[in-house]
Amino acid sequence: MADPFKPRAPFAPWDRRQLPGMFDVEETARRVGNYKWAEMKLFEALGGWIATVPELDVKMRLGTHCYHHAWHAELWHKRLPELREMNPDRLTVPANDAMVEFVAALTEPEAPETTIEKLVGVYRVFIPHFISAYTFHMNNTSEITDAPTIRTLKLALQDEFDDWRDGEMMLQSLIETPEEVDRAAAHHAKLEKLMLAAGGIAGPGSIGNLPAVKGN
Amino acid sequence: MRKFFPVDSLARDSRFNQITMSQSQADPRSPLMASDTEKRPKANRLQPSRPDASDAARSLMHGIFVGEIQALEGAGRTCHDFETGTEAPFALKLDMARQAWDEARHVEISVKLSEWMGSEIGQYAENTVLFEAACSTDPVLRLAGVNRALEGLAIDVFTTMKDFGGIAGDPYLEFCEDWMLADEVTHVKMGSDWLRRITENDPERRKKALEFQSVVDKIFSFGGTRSDSQESPIGLARRFRELAGFTDAEVEDIADVSLRALEERKEFTRQAQADAVEQFSAS
């Protein structure tokens, strides 16, 4: 049996976590507040749309996904006080005005014939931007000091990927004609331009800024 | 997308046929519409011994299915219709999102159970009265109407259906109803807790909400479809209602309202039949 009193390294050879991270506490709290605001807008939109879509399978999926995003909002809400923000509402804000404009355009479709537009907004624009912002955050924050945020990001990302897959499959099954392909693409382009103006879920820098390379 | 969605705009595919409460109550196939007191069965409780048990169970299951769709839609609308903080607490909206997921599962379960019982989507009409209770512009009234009255009814219905599954030797039905019943008790408790919390310092609002609940309870008694009487197909699940946060006095109130609704329905039927006879004699 191994000697229990033999000194061991505090980090095992397979544990390669690093201390440095890109975000300080304040910047992390700002991003988390933006995430919470965006997740709230998403779960409210999904909930509201349930009554407006005639397709039974879509109706049920929206109900399921509504809860996923509400839960993410709750996780971010609980994280904020741990990041020295004792009034979580103060940081529960959109990244900028363009983000507000994006959400207004996202939630505009209501008619029962616009399920494609509703799903394109959520599953081809909003959720992919959550995935990219969360992935960037997870890969760039301190793996040791900010482990609680990483845990939440991982839990949320699992849902985001699963929901994106559900949504994309629903869309592919709903789009039956070239005209519907055009409709989906037009709405996608409209919303993607608004998201471009917003700079992502947490504003410019949501997925970092690419460093300039010499010679370019 | 607008706030507050009207019941006549609920989106459905072509299989669904929506009807109003009065159309539903006037359906001559209802056992409570029997031509006279003598012919009306003394016991309508859903049991396998009833000659029409299979069809009655299928009809009830379809009613559960469309009710779950409307409950899903109602919970979703509460997430959307009220501003967080100023109109509804964040935690309340989180509860409603959770309920939307639960109701979505209930739709899935009831679709599969309907298929298991041999019926199809759209085989029976959809009464949209349930969503109407979810249209209040006050979230507290909505919780009283939906979570306490409607979900309370769901407790009664699921208990009846679970018992039916047990007596009929259908473990599949009994198993599923038991799970749905657990969720419904949670939803009613959510409603009870929020009602008390939000109106803690606003007795007038609480009174208004409880009055609204009483009205909805009476409507949801479906003219006597749910009561302690054996004449009602659905019983009152007293024990599960207590688990869900109803006080003894509240359960007694619902029992009284339900019995009154049964008697009013019988009187309405008697009067309608007397009028019809009179009109026929005069022609």
| B24-79 pLDDT tens trace | 766 665 555 555 554 555 567 778 888 888 888 899 899 999 999 999 999 999 99
CB contact under 8 A, B97 and A47: yes
Task: Give residue B122's Cα distance to chain centre.
Answer: 18
| Mutation target among B4, B79, B86, B112 for the A interface, most CBs of A within 10 A | B79
* pLDDT reported for residue A60: 98
Question: How many degrees, rounded to 5, is the angle at CA A69 between CA A66 and CA B65?
Answer: 20
Output the CA torsion sign for B132, B133, B134, B139.
positive
Q: Measure the CA–CA gap between B241 and B222, rounded to whole angstroms.
A: 18
CB contact B94 to A (< 8 Å): yes
**Shortest CB distance from B11 goes to which of A54, A70, A74?**
A54
Chain A residues touching B8 at Cβ < 8 A: none
Q: What is the CA radius of gyration of chain A?
A: 20
Could you tell me which residues of chain A have a Cβ less than 8 Å from any Cβ in chain B? Answer: 40, 43-56, 59-64, 66-67, 69-71, 73-74, 77, 89, 107-110, 112
Nearest CA in chain B to A66: B97
pLDDT in tens, A25-72: 999 999 999 999 999 999 999 999 999 999 999 999 999 999 999 999
Interval B241-262 mean pLDDT: 80
| pLDDT band per the 50, 70, 90 thresholds, residue A18 | very high
User: Which residues have C-beta within 8 Å of that of residue B74, sequence separation ≥ 6?
Assistant: B130, B131, B133, B134, B142, B146, B150
**Shortest CB distance from B13 goes to which of A48, A56, A73?**
A56
- Tell me if residue A190 falls in helix, strand or coil: helix
Q: Measure the CA–CA gap between B93 and B82, rounded to whole angstroms.
A: 9
Chain B residues touching A55 at Cβ < 8 A: 13
A146/chain B closest Cα distance in angstroms: 26
Q: Whose structure tokens read 């931007």?
A: A129
Interval A176-184 mean pLDDT: 98
- Determine the angle formed by the axes of helices B171-198 and B203-220, rounding to 10 degrees: 160
Phi and psi at residue B88, in whole multiples of 5°?
A: -150, 135
For A174, left (φ over 0), alpha (ψ -120 to 50), or beta?
alpha
**Shortest CB distance from A59 goes to which of B72, B78, B121?**
B72
Which pair of structure tokens corresponds to residue A204?
């410019």
Which of these, A138, A141, A108, lies nearest to A122 by C-alpha position? A108
**Shortest CB distance from A50 goes to which of B12, B100, B105?**
B100
Q: Measure the CA–CA gap between A162 and A51, rounded to whole angstroms.
A: 23
Query: Could you count the other beta carbons within 10 Å of the beta carbon of residue B115?
Result: 12
